[in-house]
Amino acid sequence: MPRRLRPVELDFVATARVRHVFERDMAAPVEAVYGALEDVPGWAAWFAQVSAARPVDAGAGRDITLTGGIRFRETVIAAKAPEVYAYRVDVTNLPGVRAIAEEWRLAPAGGGTRVRWTFATDGTAAYRLAVKVARAGQARAFRDAVRALDRRLNT
């Protein structure tokens, strides 16, 4: 059953009760990586957990479906090329969650890009515990996604 989440802004990324921060370097240049983040339908090609993605509201939002059937209706809360791309979840079928925001920060690193992804969330005690337990899986998913995106951008 879809439920509406608490609308949060970019500051939530720094203040959320649960924050997972992952960082990795890529060979691809910052501008190319940022372009891939803005290309919403393209996410399904490089982020294995994303089975479908489409822009909505003239690009101000995103509809995301994860493998396993979890769905998100999101609002883009920051799109400052080529440094930051962030969004919050407005509606989801994921139980126990009250708020989610994700931020992708990009910075030059040698001839490539340092990518930092922050997953920020809050919810019931059971949800927070489940998200903390899932951290290792998120780290793997991030690593694999960045690796796949780098291959895609460098072929």
Per residue, the 3-state secondary structure of 48-70, as one string, reads CCEEEEEEEHHHCEEEEEECCCC
pLDDT of amino acid 18: 97
The Cα-based distances of 132 to 14, 24, 52, 71, 149 in angstroms read 17, 20, 25, 20, 26
Q: pLDDT tens digits for 19-42?
A: 999 999 999 999 999 999 999 999
d(CA 122, CA 125): 9
**Encoded amino acid at 32, one letter:** A
pLDDT (0 to 100) of residue 82: 97
pTM for this prediction: 0.96
What CATH number has the domain spanning 3-154?
3.30.530.20
